[in-house]
Amino acid sequence: MTRAHLPGIAAMAAIVVASNILVQVLFGQWLTWGAFTYPLAFLVTDVMNRVYGVAAARRVVFAGFVVGVLCSLVASAFDATTFRIALGSGLAFLAAQMLDVAVFDRLRGGRWWRAPLVSTLAGSTLDTAIFFSVAFAAGLSFLQPSADVGWANEALPLLGQGPVAPLWVSLAVADWMVKLSLALLALVPFRLLVKRLTAQPV
């Protein structure tokens, strides 16, 4: 690790801490504020991957994972989270970010926007699937039998108007849609940051 990697590590740590706090604050009926901050983690990973390479991106991911674990330990000490939420968060972060790194590296030789867009879409989809199913799906209640996830499995119309599904599915779909939207918007800061850090076109 070099000093050049420290801003990426600091940015990732800040995003993870902020997201762990903001995920507890609702935004409307289907989202939390954390849905708007967490996707920035993919932006950090992709910029590090483009500018410094795969190894640097993985270091940043592992740093974010460690910070996330520490946040979960602190929250659990104050009964602010459950084991299932902490497990889902950690597994989702690590798996999704590592997938993002691998896909980005595979596509890095194409058009400048393809690697960050496709890798973020793939990582975001995996992240949403892992987190919400591990944290709330009734079929995984054996992970923490004492956790009450009945509220998350209440049958309701999807996003208030679609077919009937457990509430957690609506939360997951809304979260996923935000991530997809931010994946597109993040192409602008990605382009600008890479240009600034490399002083050459991407």
Q: How far from chain centre, in Å, is Cα 32?
A: 13
Average pLDDT over residues 50-61: 95
**Among residues 85, 78, 100, 87, which one has the least CA distance to residue 32?**
85
Alpha-carbon Rg of the chain, whole angstroms? Answer: 17
Average pLDDT over residues 54-66: 95
Average pLDDT over residues 7-12: 92
CA 198 – CA 51 distance, rounded (Å)? 7
Looking at residue 147, its pLDDT comes to 85
Q: Is the pLDDT of residue 166 over 90?
A: yes
Q: How many CB atoms lie within 10 A of CB 80?
A: 14
Tell me the two tokens of residue 51.
């500018």
Q: Is the pLDDT of residue 102 over 90?
A: yes
One-letter amino acid of 202: V
One-letter amino acid of 80: A
Structural domain spans, the chain: 3-198
For the chain, the average pLDDT equals 91
In this predicted model, what pLDDT tens digit does every residue of 65-96 receive, in sequence order? 999 888 888 887 777 678 898 899 999 999 99
DSSP 8-state code for residue 135: H
Global pTM value: 0.92
Looking at residue 80, its pLDDT comes to 67
Give me the CATH topology for the region 3-198: Arp2/3 complex 21 kDa subunit ARPC3 (1.10.1760)
Tell me the two tokens of residue 28.
């409307």
Residue holding tokens 């609702």? 26
